[in-house]
Amino acid sequence: MAEAEQKSEKTHIRCRTIIEILGKPKEHVEKTIRAYIDKIKQDRELIVLNATFSDAEEKDKLWAVFAELEMVIKGVDKLIGFCFDYMPSSIEILKPEEFAMKAKTIQDFINDLQARLHAVDMMVKKQRNENEFLRRNMNTSVKNIILISLAKNKLDGEHLSKITGINETELELFLKSLLDEKKIKEEDGVYGLA
């Protein structure tokens, strides 16, 4: 039984997979998918039997293109690695129909999955912190521009919009915040320092 399990885990797996790319401009997306598939073809653990490319289609002002690959992958661990490394949209296993796997293979897969999920989680948290830092600093900068603009003259929303480069509707949020903080005052649509 142990020999059969080992043999099954290392069995070549024939599969069909879809790789998708979304972006713009159209020419870049078409060029990128071909380069990406060429990179997959260079992987010694993968044998690409056939690659079919779709025509690029416009979706919500972006271009979508996909490639369907028929492949042979050397073992379950390499199939899992392929999924992590190349992020296919889908995998259809054509052969074999059944697998016998050791607990260690499944354990290694789960641990690898967890490690990658933790890495993604850390990136998301870091990005969230950076975005919050940038948002706070941008808000402070816009408020400072408004205060500096009002230091010389009282101005209405239209003139403040021209000076700051922020449309009036969005500028109202900053003006309201400055009014709440009692840093500016408003009389008949004209703003000045408090």
Edge-to-edge strand ranges of the sheet holding 190-193: 155-156, 190-193, 184-187
Over residues 56-76, the pLDDT tens digits come to 999 888 999 999 999 999 888
pTM: 0.60
What's the CA angle centered on 7, arms 6 and 13, to 5 degrees? 115
Q: Look at 78 and 101; give whichever has higher pLDDT.
A: 78
SS3 118: helix
Looking at 10-14, 19-23, 130-134, 148-152, which range is the least confident one? 10-14
Q: What value does the mean pLDDT take over residues 75-103?
A: 87
Residues 36, 120: Cα–Cα separation, whole Å: 21
Please check the confidence at residue 180 and state whether its pLDDT lies above 80: yes
Question: Is residue 147 scored above 60 in pLDDT?
Answer: yes
Domain ranges (residues) in the chain: 2-100, 102-185
pLDDT over 80 (residue 182):
yes
- Rounded distance, CA 66 to CA 21, Å? 6
pLDDT band at 4 (very low <50, low <70, confident <90, very high): very low
Beta bridge partners of 20: 66
Is the separation of the CB atoms in 177 and 143 below 8 Å? yes
Instruction: Give CA–CA dist 173/179, Å, rounded.
Output: 10
Q: Is the pLDDT of residue 190 over 50?
A: yes
CATH topology of domain 2-100: Alpha-Beta Plaits (3.30.70)
